[in-house]
Amino acid sequence: MQDYVFPSGRRTAAVIGAVLTLTAVGLGSRAQAASYGTPTLSLSASYLSGAVGATGDPAVTVTVAQSGADAAALTVTVTKSTRTTVATTADATVTGTGATRRVAVAARGQGYTDLTVQVTGVDGRTVTKTLHYAASAAVQGASGTRYFTGSSDASAAVDLGGGYVVVADDESNVLRLYDRSASGAPVRTWDFTSKLGVSKEIDIEAAARVGDTIYWTGSLGNNKDGEYKSDRNTVFTTTVTGSGASTALTYGRSYKKLRDNLVAWDKANGNRYGFAAGTATGQVPKQIDGFNVEGLEFAPGSTTTAYVGFRAPLAPAVTGGKALIVPVTNFDKVLSSGSAAAFGTPIELDLGGLSIRDIRKNASNQYLIVAGSWAADDNSDPYALYSWDGVAAHAPVKRLDLPTSDPGGWEAIADVPDLTVSGARAQLITDDGSADLYGDGVEAKDLTHAEWKKSRATWFTVTN
């Protein structure tokens, strides 16, 4: 043993082997070979939604650190679940190394649970964070289903290439960009409220793309209480640059008189479809004789004539009536220069007594139509998918009945595959705004956390 003495003659320390013992200067403690800080733990999101039996549910990124320590030496675990019928700690999987880990949860049952995520430092000290997890029930076609989170009221969708789609929400003026193959939050969002000069949602219900321009339309109808809201009488454009995850949207122009043009046109033609009555004060839009637009697509080979598809009225407005399309023959000029809409001969399609909830075509002028009820009870009325060639004189062909036992109403078609190819699949998206996703009686649109709101996107085989 060797003593070290300061010039004052005070003995201050002794070295025994490799251990330094502090014996003076009032410290009286043992120094460690290294000094570590308190571990840190952060979650990319505090709220997470999954589904029973889901494939590709979203995960949470966990970032950990401890000063003086290699992040790879830290341990991340899920140590507690407040409701094990929803998910146990064994249902949570931690992957990754270093400073970044991921926590994924395989839902055991519908409902909510709080999961405790813990990091353990190299010196045994721990820090925890709470992950608030919600699980929706199992659905049909779970393996081909993904969930787009951040919003629950998907109402229109346009494919942007590279496996990405932009989705509108009828409860806001926000457009969201999603990876079509994955469940999770949007990769980009655009809120056009200020550009549109509106104070409320315009009730976006349909869209169509020509080149780099996407046309979006509000429902044009009254609100659910039968009140006229001018913001809903809005059609607008966005310009697309880039593609896939790098897509950018910029605001173009808007037009706010299409409803007025349609009513005037119908009056001039003997009130054939009752548009004036359907837009009258007190008239609820989602009635068999109401007024509500939910489809928009361009005519075969055209960049000027747009098909406006109606959820209501039926033609005639009786049980078993046909679905109505009104062609706007100068739709490009309506938006580019504010020209009053001009109309072609209306088209009435036999969709088995159902109306148009979305219509989409591909570059080969092959159309798919989501047919559903004019009524508002989305979770009980029938839905079907039809194909069509866009020619007024030709009848649509029923491809399949869509499942209705799961929450949400079928509202949007992401794109149309080549319908001449066997086994072709189309991705359809639901509006889950009125759905009780987690079994607590709360509609999805009223959930307090955006991460728990979601719409369901499911792939269906549409050809033999």
Cα diameter, the chain: 114
The residues, any chain, with a CB within 8 Å of residue 106's CB and separated by 6 or more, are: 50, 57, 87, 91, 92, 93
Strand order in the sheet with 164-169: 154-161, 164-169, 174-179, 188-191
In order, the DSSP letters of 172-212 are SSEEEEEETTS-B--SEEEE-HHHHT-SS---EEEEEEETT
Lookup: tokens for 391: 């020619």
**Above 50 in pLDDT, residue 18?**
no
The pair of three-digit structure tokens given for residue 439, joined into one six-digit string: 């079994």
Cα dihedral: 394, 297, 144, 186 (round 10):
180
pLDDT of residue 23: 34
Residue 458 near residue 427, CB atoms below 8 Å: yes
If you average pLDDT over residues 81-93, what whole number do you get? 98
pLDDT of residue 384: 97
For the chain, give the mean pLDDT: 93
* Confidence band, pLDDT 50/70/90 cuts, at residue 378: low
CA of residue 368 relative to chain centroid, distance: 21
Give the mean pLDDT of 30-35.
54
The stretch 209-233 carries a mean pLDDT of: 97
Please give the full DSSP string across 287-320, using - where no structure is assigned.
STTS-EEEEEEEPTT-SS-EEEEEEE--BSSSTT
The type of residue at 57 is D
Give dist(CA 227, CA 296) in Å, integer: 24
319-377 pLDDT tens trace = 999 999 999 999 999 999 999 999 999 999 999 999 999 999 999 999 999 999 999 77
280: pLDDT strictly greater than 50: yes
The arithmetic mean of pLDDT across residues 127-148, rounded, is 97
What token pair was written down for 61? 């990124």
pTM: 0.91
Phi and psi torsions of 144, nearest 5°: -100, 15
Average pLDDT of the residues in 241-260:
97
Residue 381: predicted pLDDT = 87
pLDDT of 20 over the 90 cut: no
Indicate the pairing of strand 11-16 with strand 19-22. Answer: antiparallel
- Which sequence spans correspond to the domains of the chain? 1-31, 40-136, 142-461
CATH architecture of residue range(s) 40-136: Sandwich (2.60)
CA quadruple 231, 235, 241, 243: dihedral, nearest 10:
90
How are beta strands 248-255 and 60-65 bridged, if at all?
A: unpaired
Positive or negative torsion for Cα 138, 144, 148, 151 = negative
Spatial CA neighbour of 431 closest among 378, 382, 386: 378
Kindly report the CATH class assigned to 142-461: mainly beta
Give me the long-range contacts of 158-163 (CB less than 8 A, separation at least 24): 158/207, 158/208, 158/209, 158/214, 158/414, 159/209, 159/414, 159/415, 160/240, 160/243, 160/244, 160/247, 161/243, 161/244, 162/243, 162/244, 162/245, 163/244
